[in-house]
Each structure stands twice: as C-alpha cells, then as structure tokens.
Amino acid sequence: MTTPPQRALKLGTRNSPLAMAQAEEARTRLCAAHGWDRAAITLVPVTASGDRIQDRPLADLGGKALWTKELDAWLLAGEIDFAVHSLKDVETIRPAGIAIAAILPREDVRDVLVGAASIRALPQGARIGTSAPRRAAQLLHARPDCRVIPLRGNVNTRLAKLAAGEADAMLLAAAGLNRLGKQGVGHPLPADEWLPAPAQGAIAIECRADDAETCALLAAIDDAPSRAAVMAERALLAALGGNCHSPIAVMTQAQGADLVMSAALFSPDGAERVSGEARFAAEDSAGAARLADDLLARAAPAIAIHFAGR
C-alpha cells in the first residue's frame, strides 16, 4: 500500500461520456494498485475543442491536437497532475515536457458495424457513417458502391443519428462501446481482415516528464504487453509521416518475445491499397520503421502522396 497523497491528485479528462468512463477506469486501477480510497483522485473534466466543434471533419480542423491541447496546457501549467486519453486520438509527436507514463490493458481492438451483419451484407449503395479517413478508405476499398456520410459526435449522438436515418449503417470502435456498456450493439469486424487504427482500444495516462513521483505512481498500472504493441504502432505512424488525412490501419500481436505487425495504407478514396507484415523483437525500436519503409517503397503514388516518410 502506498501512502495516500496529502491532497487529492487531479486527473484531467475530456468530459464526453466515453472519456469520463475511461477516466473512471484509470482512477479505479490507480487506487486499487496503491490501496487508496477513490477520494485520493479528483476527476477534472474539460470540454475539448474537438468536442465543441461538431459540424466539420476533424482532419480539416487541426487534427488530433483538438482532443489534447486543453489538457496539455493544464498539465504543463500544473493545474492537473495527470491526464487520461484514448491513445488513438493522441498526436504521434508529443510535447517534450509530457510523458506517456502508463498504458492500461488494451481493450478489444476491433471495429463494429452497426446496421448490417457484415460489410458484404450492406445493401448496394448504402450510406455508411464515419468521420475517420481510415474507416472511409477501408470501406470504399471493400465496397466502392457505398457512400461515406461524415458523422461526428459522441457514441450516443452518432447512434441517434443512425436511428434518425442519416445513414444506413455506421462504423464504431468496439472498445468505446464496451466501455459504455453497449457490448451487444452491432457486429464486430474480424481484425485480421479489417485492421484497426493505430493504438485503438488503448487508454494512456500522461504526466509531466519531470514529475518523477507521479511517473512512479503511474508505473504501477502500466501494462507492459499493451505498451509494447501500441508504442510500436505509434512508431509506425511516426516513420510513415502520415497526418489526419492519411488512412493507416495496423494490428500488432505478441508472439513469444516478438511482435507481429500487420499494416495497410490506402488512398483516401479506397481505390489503392498496399499491405505488409513484419516480425521483430518487442524491444527493437526500428522494427516498425522497417515496415514503414517497405510499405512506402511499394505504395502507389495515390497513397504515397499522403505520407511524408521519415
């Protein structure tokens, strides 16, 4: 048991229902690891820019920083002690003063199709709701007859839009549905056929890089297998030099002491696809970069133009 802090530690989070559920999970795990009462950690919610602006695609508004910039400012100013994020929404390059101190055990990495039993079962010309370039490109690659309908908002908002007929079906993350208690909604897509987003299903907790005490407290709930997989996927992102418009799909699995990474890049319209697989030691920081080099070397111009490389 760790001595409780003299004051309540402040955990910053977005105030969406899913973000709050993730923050509650982080608080529960941290208190359990140290034998603290829940009152030892106070949740401090913020309305992120990405939550305030709902009428335009995220990629057109500044990308993933819209989910993190308010919490980053609070963290660096010392107004909160740590912050919780869905790691797939965190920029690949983080401020030097911020450290990813813990990765919680990764949830289901799969996407879920709501409104049809499978991609193949979608009716001809179906309207599919998603605001993610990856999901849009994957869908159009598999079903070029379908039409992508941009839908923003939290999970409940998007499900309501589907129920109102704004789309015929919708793609969501299984992890988010599970964390909101909606496990029975939709049909999970096989991850080996429909690769997820980098770091999908992973919750990250960040603190100030120079705050050794908080880093040590958070280390108690860091899940090493999850960290190895998602940090490799973020290394792939960094090596590809992609942005919010770059459709990247990847899945990483542990096999013994190695990681096996399967990845695919798409043109935004789904017409072009390049894929590859690599096996490398979990501690091999260059393994993902080698796969990135291979993918870019084989990518059609319609794909390569959306990646800067290393």
Can you spell out the DSSP letters for 229-285?
Answer: HHHHHHHHHHHHT--TTS-EEEEEEEETTEEEEEEEEE-TTSS-EEEEEEEEETT-T
Q: How many domains does the chain have?
A: 3
Give yes or no: 89 in active site. Answer: yes
Set 72, 81, 89, 108: catalytic member = 89
CA distance 149 to 151: 6
Whether 142 and 102 have beta carbons less than 8 Å apart is answered as: no
CB atoms within 10 A of CB 94: 16
Please classify residue 187 by burial: count the beta carbons closer than 10 Å to its beta carbon, then call 0-12 exposed, 13-18 middle and 19+ buried. Answer: middle
The reply to whether 67 and 214 lie within a common domain is: yes
How many contiguous H segments (helices) and E segments (strands) does the chain have?
10, 13
What CATH number does the domain containing 157 carry?
3.40.190.10
Range of 37's domain? 9-104+202-222
User: Phi then psi for 94, rounded to 5 degrees?
Assistant: -105, 160
82 occurs within a structural domain:
yes
Tens of pLDDT along the chain (310 residues) come to 777 777 899 999 999 999 999 999 999 999 999 999 999 999 999 865 545 455 555 555 454 556 688 899 999 999 999 999 999 989 998 999 999 999 999 999 999 999 999 999 999 999 999 989 999 999 999 999 999 999 878 899 999 999 999 999 999 999 999 999 999 899 999 998 999 999 999 999 999 999 999 999 999 999 999 999 999 999 999 999 977 778 999 999 999 999 999 999 999 999 999 999 999 999 998 999 999 999 999 999 999 999 876 4
For the question of whether the overall pTM of this predicted structure is more than 0.85, the answer is yes
Longest Cα separation, the chain: 61
89 occurs within a structural domain:
yes
194 occurs within a structural domain:
no
CA distance 38 to 242: 40
The reply to whether 218 and 96 lie within a common domain is: yes
Last residue of one domain, picked from the residues 162, 188, 214: 188
